[in-house]
Amino acid sequence: MSCETGPAVVDPTLRRRIEPHEFTVFFDPTQLRKETCLLYEIRWGGRHRIWRHTGQNTNKHVEINFIEKITSERYFHPSTRCSITWFSSWSPCADCSKAIKEFLRQHPNVTLFIYVARLYYHVDQQNRQGLRDLVSSGVIIQIMTEQEYSYCWKNFVNYPPSSEVNWPRYPNLWMKLYILELYCIILGLPPCLKILRRHQHEPPYFTLTLQYCHYQRIPPYIFWATGLI
Ligand SMILES: [Zn+2]
């Protein structure tokens, strides 16, 4: 792939790529865009083949669309061995977490990694429990950082010529805040991050309220990384 020309025209994934402006707005961790965008890749066991595709929510959440699509493919069986990686603009809601857990139960040879740009209604106890249940089922959930934004830009975005390295640089602070809150969720601690918005068209802002239990259980470097403590 040449950085002079954008994604190679022979790239078989080209028609499945999203446009740069779509990536930029969907995955911005500082915004609360309603729709969800899912970029995913499937690595098939032993064959070194990677499939990449993208999806958005319709009248169903994007996670459900993914499960319905993949399980309807004739090559996909309960014994299929593969590794799936999602890059999603929002973390799964409680209902989707249940569906993902059931999908993994029925397909025990599938491993799932989920990178998310933002945590979906993360103070909701059911959403928090859903994410914990996924972790208990073996799903690796992480917040997208610069490394994942760069990877997605190069592999899922129809970036313009000479722009291979021009992925959007979002403020690190929001990624660190979400990393901190994801720690709270996984450890079963109360939320410390609140995201608020005064008016619909104004950017959100946050408050951070740390309790003794947070200081006790969360590794200090996670706090320090935010630069706020
Ligand atoms: Zn959902």
Burial 31-54 (b: 16+ CB within 10 A, else e): beeeebbbbbbbbeeeeeeeebbb
* Residues 52-91 pLDDT 10s: 999 999 999 999 999 999 999 888 899 999 999 999 999 9
Assess whether pLDDT exceeds 70 at residue 116: yes
Helix residue ranges, H only, the chain: 20-26, 62-72, 94-106, 125-136, 146-156, 172-187, 212-217, 220-226
Cα separation, 97 vs 134, in Å, equals 6
Q: What spacing in Å lies between the alpha carbon of 7 and ligand 1's midpoint?
A: 31
- What does the mean pLDDT of the chain come to? 91
Cross-sheet strand order for the sheet of 49-56:
49-56, 37-44, 82-90, 110-118, 140-143
Assess whether pLDDT exceeds 80 at residue 153: yes
List all residues 6 or more positions away from 22 whose beta carbon is below 8 Å from its beta carbon: 37
Q: What spacing in Å lies between the alpha carbon of 228 and ligand 1's midpoint?
A: 31
Highest mean pLDDT out of 99-108, 157-166, 202-211:
99-108
Specify the higher pLDDT residue, 194 or 228. 194
pLDDT of residue 7: 72
Mean pLDDT calculated for residue range 3-8: 60
Catalytically active residues are: 63
Q: What spacing in Å lies between the alpha carbon of 207 and ligand 1's midpoint?
A: 25
- Domains belonging to the chain, first-starting first, are 14-171 (3.40.140.10)
Cα separation, 94 vs 32, in Å, equals 18
Burial 99-114 (b: 16+ CB within 10 A, else e): bbbebbeebeebbbeb
pLDDT of residue 125: 97
pLDDT of residue 170: 94
Q: What spacing in Å lies between the alpha carbon of 64 and ligand 1's midpoint?
A: 7
CA 114 vs CA 8, 106, 119, 133: distances in Å: 27, 18, 12, 13
Torsion angle defined by CA atoms of residues 157, 159, 165 and 169, in that order, rounded to the nearest 10 degrees: -70
Assess whether pLDDT exceeds 50 at residue 101: yes
Q: What spacing in Å lies between the alpha carbon of 221 and ligand 1's midpoint?
A: 31
Specify the higher pLDDT residue, 5 or 91. 91
Mean pLDDT calculated for residue range 34-44: 93
Mean pLDDT calculated for residue range 8-33: 82
Mean pLDDT calculated for residue range 171-180: 95
Q: What spacing in Å lies between the alpha carbon of 100 and ligand 1's midpoint?
A: 10
Cα separation, 124 vs 93, in Å, equals 9
